[in-house]
Chain A
Amino acid sequence: MAGIIDLILSIIFYPPIYQLVLVGLTGALVVVIFIIWFERKATARVQRRLGPYHISPRLAGLPQLVADLIRYAFQEVIIPKTVDKELFVLAPIVATVLSILPIAVVPLTSNPAYWPIPMDYSMLVALALTTVSPIFLIVAGWASNNKFSIIGGVREAFVITAYELIAIMSILSASAAVLSFNLVEIVEAQRVWYILLNPIAFLAAFLAVLMATSGFPFEIPESENEVVAGPFTEYSGLLYGLNMGAAYMKRFAFSILMALVFLGGWSPYTPGEGILSGYLIPSLIVVAKATVLMMIFSLTRSIYGRFRLDQALEGAWRLVFPMAVLGFGLALLEAYLGVM
């Protein structure tokens, strides 16, 4: 009996698991709820309306998102007869899980006791994990067996090809500058935040993340007026909620990665010993920085319409991709000159 309890405890306190649960699931849920609320409120302010206000005006409608979450959770999940049932149900679940998986491998502290995995190649692992989830959006579109879903899925596929390389290259430029794939070393090496040393790479990464998470000038796969809800057209209830949440989860994972690479991670704090000083405070700093990034991401909604698919792809390949290459070159130059 004691053995089983030990086993369970060892699973729960296995660092990748608790980081995934604590920061990945709980943290992401709280941050996503806050961000959606912020996005709605900021957009409402620009558009001269009130935004969510019905539930608890004192909290400016913040619990509205919790109410929406509960609604999604208990709505009937309609599975049409014509869909590929297994894939239809699995795709959004897998996509959501995979989109927060990068959090399980990034360090949120420099204290080795709280690293989820050995950190030597953590940058590569995290970037690799960010590229897994989009395929399941295409699967969701394909399994729905609906014309709008399939068009949406194909658009998603186009957009993936455009942003993936840019995102990886611009974030990886930090590795080139520090000559290490170790995220802890990258964070520790930033005496000056990397965003100041290499703003080009940051801008490219910013645009790539906007594309990856259907941020506003690039909200193409779900564009309502052409393809209804894109890959999610046939979804309802919790599965639809998961699909919608997956984009924000992904944005959160990317934001954490960008906060580490470009915004100096847990600086100015120096993690010490013990769970409070060694894990909670630095991880909160990282999450706060990621939240600020996400708030900036959400402002584009009120300013821009959406690009046409070919314009977005053209922009990505002709403008942002050269920018990412330039950023990478700048990083190599900085490494050569020993700036970092």
Chain B
Amino acid sequence: MSVWVYGEQKSELGLEGTITRKLEEDLYEVFIGPQHPGSGHMRIIVRIDGDIIVEADPDMGYVHRTMEKLSEGREWIKNVPLFERMAIHDACNVTVSYVMALERILGIEPPPRAKYLRTLLCEINRIAAHLYGFGIFGVFIGHSTMYMWSFADREVMVELAEKLTGARLTHSYPIPGGARRDMPQDFPQAARKAVRYFRRRLDEYRKIFLDNPVTRKRLEGVGIIPKKIAAELGVVGPVARASGIKYDARLAEPYDAYDEVEFEVPVYEEGDALARAWVKFEEIKQSLRIIEQAVDWLEKHPREAPIHERFWAKAPPLWKKVFEAEGRVKLLPLMANLKLPPGRAMARSETARGEIVYYVESDGKTTPYRVRIVSPSARNAIVFKYIAPGYKVMDLPTIYGSIDYFPPEADR
């Protein structure tokens, strides 16, 4: 029997899950997806020996939309709504680093108020995305209550985001040099109410899902990614943090207001599906903390235009009049034909699923010369291939749900 081992180090670690065999006659090959209720927009080709997964082959690309190429034909600002389509429930997190790259090329820094506004929306999005992940995870292991609860409670965060930006999902909020608009006057009360509500609900989540004996039995010891393997596979986000790697783009390279707000990055050592669920659960708590701090800061400090003064100086008089009278700001017209100086920049931010990296190259035109995106789901998809083998077929949805793989983001 030919044994195929990924890398030499794998066998030294004696990790059963990483040893795969070539397809033999008596293996059962099942194509899970893309029209399968438990697959999402992808296909996993699974070869089964009895009830054990021998090989799992993630076949991605079913929702590939050539985003990187499309972006080359659009103006700088119009790429923000485009890139949001990677993960619409995590819109601010996935686009804020693109905007940061543009700011680096422009050589500007957004005003502190804009930074806090962006941070606020990022955390609102993070909670919404984690709840989305929890919902999918719940339904994957047959827990319909978790699915319904988290999707219903996500509505609270979606409405908060709507109050802040005017759009439920695709906010297009961060723009080069700041944020698209300021928060409404009654936003702090609504945000504090939502935070209070979530603190109460999270306790119930823990009771019905994370501490549920059936759920624990399903998740404990499933899809274990040891720390070394996690580093080697290059997984990011909650998947890496559940394996004991304290890596978070918000810590590694603080952007926006993250170096001013207080928060912790939960790290778990176990590396199994339960630890990944707990990481997300604790991250929601930390996001609530950040939301509170950001709202406090925004309330305390006087309103200023949440856009860099270089752009604000060129704003039409009407814009300034409205801002002075009501404190409202709209997208500046000059953004439509923004020209960037030639240059290249990289930026990264921490989305709900992990670190997203943008490489942006400008040749001085109104459109990008090249935008390269490395999205977290694409980096985490490798888990299917090297971690799933060795576990049972019924563990596949558990692994899938726990790494919170999101095909539209991976395929982009």
Contacts and interface: CB of A to CB of B under 8 A. Distances in A.
Say if A and B assemble together.
Answer: yes
Interface of A: 43, 46-49, 147-148, 151, 216-217, 219-220, 223-226, 228, 301-311
A219 B143 CA distance: 11
Nearest to A229: B37
Contacts of B51: 309-310
Given A228-B36, A305-B146, A305-B218, 14 more contacts: A48-B149, A225-B37, A225-B142, A226-B396, A304-B215, A305-B138, A305-B142, A305-B143, A305-B212, A306-B142, A308-B218, A308-B392, A308-B394, A310-B51
Interface residues of B, number: 31
A228 B394 CA distance: 12
Interface of B: 28, 30, 32, 36-38, 51, 138-146, 148-149, 152, 208, 212, 214-215, 217-218, 392-397
Contacts of B142: 216, 219, 223-225, 304-306
Given A219-B142, A223-B142, A225-B140, A307 B38 contact: no
A226 B139 CA distance: 11
A304 B28 contact: no
A228 B141 CA distance: 13
Contacts of A46: 145
Contacts, number: 81
A240 to B, nearest CB: 15
B30 A309 contact: no
Contacts of B144: 43, 47, 301-302
A310 B152 CA distance: 33
A48 B205 CA distance: 14
30 contacts: A43-B145, A46-B145, A47-B149, A47-B152, A48-B148, A48-B152, A147-B28, A151-B30, A217-B214, A220-B394, A224-B37, A224-B142, A225-B142, A225-B397, A226-B38, A226-B393, A228-B36, A228-B37, A303-B145, A303-B208, A304-B142, A304-B143, A304-B214, A307-B214, A307-B217, A307-B218, A308-B394, A309-B392, A310-B392, A311-B218
A302 B395 CA distance: 21
Nearest to A47: B148
Contacts of B138: 305
> Chain B CB within 10 Å — which of A48, A223, A308 has the most?
A308
A49 B393 CA distance: 32
A224 B397 CA distance: 10
A305 B214 contact: yes
A296 to B, nearest CB: 17
Given A47-B148, A48-B152, A226-B396, A304 B212 contact: yes
A308 B214 CA distance: 9
Contacts of A49: 148, 152
Contact of B38 (A43, A47, A220, A225): A225
User: Which 8 A-B pairs rank lowest in CB-CB distance, beginning with the nearest?
Assistant: A225-B38, A306-B142, A47-B148, A305-B143, A305-B142, A225-B397, A305-B141, A308-B394
